[in-house]
């Protein structure tokens, strides 16, 4: 059984790496396909639709079905989608395939964290942080592989599909010890969490934090060039520094964070990220801008993984349903905050619009600060 746990832990990490690859896929190959901004927006939107549906459904199913079996199906969908993407020029067909890529991504996002919580009773937050480290690593990897090394994107997708098929084989043959299933059926679980203030607070916080992260990735190079006099190359280096800050933060904080004090770590990181984002976007630091960029990524990095760990501890009998519901916040935040920022920028200036990031983080801090104070028994049971 220990070997099974090791195999599934490694498979989970590798699955999240390919989730990161799929997340950055359109951005990495848009130039190769001569996609227009409108088409890029369509692909990203439909990918998020598939992701949103799958992360919720797979998370809920993971409380009643064997998690490796769900991941087996998700791996087959993702591998087939990688193999068939843009084999023809049909936009509608490729949009459907991109939605299936989102479905495969959503199955990984909805199930792997809950599976890790089942398998590891100690240092749970470390495993969740490492899991999400591989998402960032995958995004960096595909960027380097396709852009800086100028490798053939079709070959890279075929290679990715082969590895994902190997993952499917692992999920097909490796079994876990059976976990006691939730006593409530799916609709009962949904009714319970829909009335739970704490779940709502964690969802809203995740919307804000994920929106800040994805919005920052999208606007950072433009900000550095337009407002900090960086050039095209140095601004890209700034983006890489930000992503490295996220990757390093997820590993370091994963080791430092104690399972019994996760709520305190979440609040501390929200407060710290509010400060680092204010410094990054509103204080001219000259050569220290790279440092502030790194610290912004570092402070933001572990908040969502720790929220996931916290939710799994508070709701152990229906962790999949709760985590899946919270993760619906990912595409919502990824759409909402960048849209609000662009709307504000169109009416004012980029410098004014950037205030949405530290303000969103401060609001997230206030939401959880007052929620944790109002429900001390619920919070303390995770400690």
Supply the pLDDT for residue 154: 85
CA–CA dist 383, 381 (Å, integer): 5
At 102-124, the pLDDT tens digits run 999 999 999 999 899 889 888 88
At 146-184, the pLDDT tens digits run 656 555 788 889 999 999 999 999 999 998 766 655 555
Helices and strands, number each (H, E), in the chain? 18, 0
Query: Is residue 63 scored above 80 in pLDDT?
Result: yes
Query: Is residue 34 scored above 90 in pLDDT?
Result: no
Residues 103 and 74: beta-carbon distance below 8 Å: yes
| Gyration radius (Cα) of the chain, Å | 20
Q: Where exactly are the structural domains of the chain?
A: 2-173, 189-380
Query: Is residue 381 scored above 60 in pLDDT?
Result: no
Query: Is residue 37 scored above 70 in pLDDT?
Result: no
CA–CA dist 285, 119 (Å, integer): 45
DSSP string, 136-175: HHHHHHHHIIIIIS---HHHHHHHHHHHHHHHHHHHHH--
Query: Is residue 232 scored above 90 in pLDDT?
Result: no
Query: Is residue 24 scored above 90 in pLDDT?
Result: no
Supply the pLDDT for residue 233: 79
CA–CA dist 137, 171 (Å, integer): 22
Strands (E), the chain: none
Q: Cβ–Cβ contacts within 10 Å for residue 245, how many?
A: 24
Supply the pLDDT for residue 181: 54
Tokens linked to 202 = 């964690």
Q: Between 18 and 218, name the one with better pLDDT.
A: 18
Query: Which residues make Cβ contacts (< 8 Å) with residue 30, sequence separation at least 6?
Result: 40
At 271-325, the pLDDT tens digits run 999 999 999 999 988 889 999 999 999 999 999 999 998 988 888 878 788 888 8
Which range (7-21, 156-170, 211-225, 344-358) has the least confidence? 211-225
pTM of the predicted structure, to 2 decimals? 0.80
Query: What mean pLDDT is reported for the chain?
Result: 87
Query: Is residue 249 scored above 80 in pLDDT?
Result: yes
CA–CA dist 44, 335 (Å, integer): 10
Q: What is the Cα 208 distance to its own chain's centre? A: 13
Tokens linked to 158 = 């075929």
Query: Is residue 382 scored above 70 in pLDDT?
Result: no
The one-character DSSP state at 356 is: H
- Determine the 3-state secondary structure of 121 from DSSP: coil
CATH code, residues 2-173: 1.20.1250.20
Give percent of the chain above pLDDT 70: 92
Which range (114-123, 183-192, 318-327, 359-368) has the least confidence? 183-192
Residues 182 and 318: beta-carbon distance below 8 Å: yes
* CATH value of 189-380 in 1.20.1250.20, 3.30.200.20, 1.10.645.10, 2.40.50.110: 1.20.1250.20
The answer to whether domain 2-173 and domain 189-380 are alike in fold is yes
Q: Tokens 């890209």: give the residue.
A: 236
Supply the pLDDT for residue 23: 84
Supply the pLDDT for residue 124: 82
Average pLDDT rounded to a whole number, residues 367-371 = 94
């Amino acid at each position: 059984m220990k070997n099974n746990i090791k195999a599934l832990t490694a498979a989970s990490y590798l699955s999240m790496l390919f989730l990161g690859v799929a997340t950055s896929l359109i951005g990495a190959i848009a130039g190769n396909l001569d996609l227009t901004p409108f088409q890029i927006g369509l692909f990203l939107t439909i990918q998020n639709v598939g992701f949103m549906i799958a992360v919720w459904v797979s998370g809920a199913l993971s409380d009643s079905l064997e998690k490796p079996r769900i991941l087996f199906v998700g791996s087959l969908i993702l591998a087939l989608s990688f193999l068939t993407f843009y084999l023809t020029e049909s936009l509608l067909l490729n949009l459907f395939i991109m939605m299936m890529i989102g479905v495969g991504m959503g199955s990984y996002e909805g199930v792997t964290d809950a599976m890790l919580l089942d398998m590891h009773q100690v240092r749970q937050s470390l495993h969740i942080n490492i899991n999400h480290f591989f998402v960032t690593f995958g995004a960096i990897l595909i960027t380097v592989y396709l852009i800086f090394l100028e490798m053939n994107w079709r070959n890279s997708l075929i290679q990715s599909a082969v590895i994902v098929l190997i993952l499917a084989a692992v999920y097909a043959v490796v079994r876990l010890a059976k976990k006691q299933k939730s006593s409530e059926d799916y609709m009962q679980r949904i009714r319970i969490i829909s009335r739970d203030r704490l779940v709502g607070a964690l969802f809203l916080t995740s919307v804000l934090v994920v929106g800040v992260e994805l919005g920052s990735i999208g606007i950072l190079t433009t900000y550095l060039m337009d407002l900090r006099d960086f050039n095209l190359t140095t601004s890209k280096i700034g983006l890489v520094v930000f992503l490295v800050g996220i990757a390093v933060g997820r590993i370091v904080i994963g080791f430092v964070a104690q399972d019994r004090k996760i709520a305190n770590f979440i609040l501390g990181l929200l407060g710290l990220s509010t400060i680092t984002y204010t410094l990054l976007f509103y204080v001219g630091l000259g050569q220290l801008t790279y440092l502030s960029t790194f610290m912004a990524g570092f402070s933001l990095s572990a908040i969502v993984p720790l929220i996931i760990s916290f939710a799994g501890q508070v709701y152990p009998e229906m962790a999949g349903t709760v985590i899946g519901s919270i993760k619906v916040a990912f595409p919502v935040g990824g759409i909402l905050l960048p849209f609000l920022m662009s709307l504000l920028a169109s009416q004012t200036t980029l410098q004014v619009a950037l205030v949405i990031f530290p303000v969103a983080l401060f609001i997230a801090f206030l939401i959880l600060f007052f929620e944790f104070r109002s429900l001390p028994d619920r919070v303390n049971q995770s400690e």
